[in-house]
Structures are given as structure tokens and as C-alpha cells.
A and B are shown apart, each in its own frame.
Chain A
Amino acid sequence: DVKVTQSSRYLVKRTGEKVFLECVQDMDHENMFWYRQDPGLGLRLIYFSYDVKMKEKGDIPEGYSVSREKKERFSLILESASTNQTSMYLCASSWGPQHFGDGTRLSIL
């Protein structure tokens, strides 16, 4: 069974901090994705990656960056956290249907 693991289920940070969200998958998938989910807005794509060291912007990349140094790990970085980045963050990997982690609920105070 595919396992996508996100490093934290809950995280609280302060505005201006640099925040790292980590995601690891164990199925050797080429493709990895970061989404955020907000009430009434559904899931929105932030960044995705088709291979190591490759990245593509999604629909809402502003204020975020990503890193894919190894195939199994895809990191989302909030360069300078702001309160409007309080959200549920979901990572997924795929070769075929996407498989999601359980999410990180991030609060920026």
C-alpha cells in the first residue's frame, strides 16, 4: 500500500518565520504535489514536481517555494509566513492515481 507521510499533523508558527513542511513517499513515484485546502475553496495546487530537482508552479505559488533533492521527498517552504497562509496543507504522490498524506494543519499567529 502506498504511504505518503507528512512530517507534522499540526503546526503553529509566527508571522515572518520560515516554515518547512516535509513530505515523504515510499513508492518510488516520479510525481509529487503540494495542495492547500481551505473551507469553501476546496483543494488548490501550490507546486508540483515530475522529477528530482524539477518543479512547476501550480495555481497559487506566491509566498511558497519547494525543494526536491531526493525522489522520495518533496518539501514545501513558506519563505516568510503570513496569517493568510493558515490552512490545511496536503501532499500527494502519483504514478497513476494520486495518493495523499493526512495533511498538516498549519496555523500562523
Chain B
Amino acid sequence: LAKTTQPISMDSYEGQEVNITCSHNNIATNDYITWYQQFPSQGPRFIIQGYKTKVTNEVASLFIPADRKSSTLSLPRVSLSDTAVYYCLVGDSGNTPLVFGKGTRLSVIA
């Protein structure tokens, strides 16, 4: 399973756009990139998944360059409620077990 590297923590002010980058240099051809959000005392919550280029949903955007060795989760206009840990994972669409790293702890400040 491909290993990912992402920043340990990030701070942002409310209303700003936040970009969290994840490196996955040995991603396999059939791997997807999936991001989860986790609040304290809750299970991780699926945010977005992509294979290449750009994916957007009502919560976030995911940018994936052509070489797929990295990806960037973009959260538009964050609020205090976006304070959470964000995990980047790679795997073949999620049907196989995922390897969770330490994630990025995002703190949104008023």
C-alpha cells in the first residue's frame, strides 16, 4: 500500500481557503486518492476521492497533477467547525484496507 506524507499541523483564520498537500510518490496505477476528516471522538468521515486532474463536491476540491505523486485538498472559506484532523490515503478505491497515517491537524482560528 502506498505511503503518504502530509504536514502534521496547519493553522488558518476563518474565511480563508486552506490547501493541504499530500505526497504519495509510489502510488500505483490503480490507486485512488481519498481524503477523510475526523473530529474528536468520532469516526473518520469521507470527504472526497479522485484519480486524476480535479474533483469538486459541495465540501472540497481535490487537485491531482498529471504524475499523481501528490494531491492537494482545498477547503474553501473555512469556518471554526472545520477544525479537525484530515487524512490522505491511497488505495484501489477503498475496497481494500486503508493505511492511515498521522493526518494533518487543521486548527481554524476566529
Contacts and interface: CB of A to CB of B under 8 A. Distances in A.
Interface stretch (B11-19, B22-30, B62-70, B89-97): B89-97
B95 A105 contact: no
A98 B98 contact: yes
A49 to B, nearest CB: 11
B52 to A, nearest CB: 17
A83 B7 CA distance: 32
B42 A102 contact: yes
B44 A100 contact: yes
A74 interface: no
Given A42-B101, A42-B103, A43-B100, A94 B44 contact: no
Contact of A45 (B45, B46, B95, B97): B97
Given A33-B97, A42-B102, A58-B97, A98 B46 contact: yes
Interface string B25-60: 000000000100000011111100100000000000
List of 7 A-B pairs having minimum Cβ-Cβ separation, nearest first: A100-B43, A43-B100, A97-B94, A97-B46, A45-B97, A42-B100, A94-B94
Interface of A: 4, 30-31, 33, 35, 42-45, 48, 58, 88, 90-92, 94-103, 105
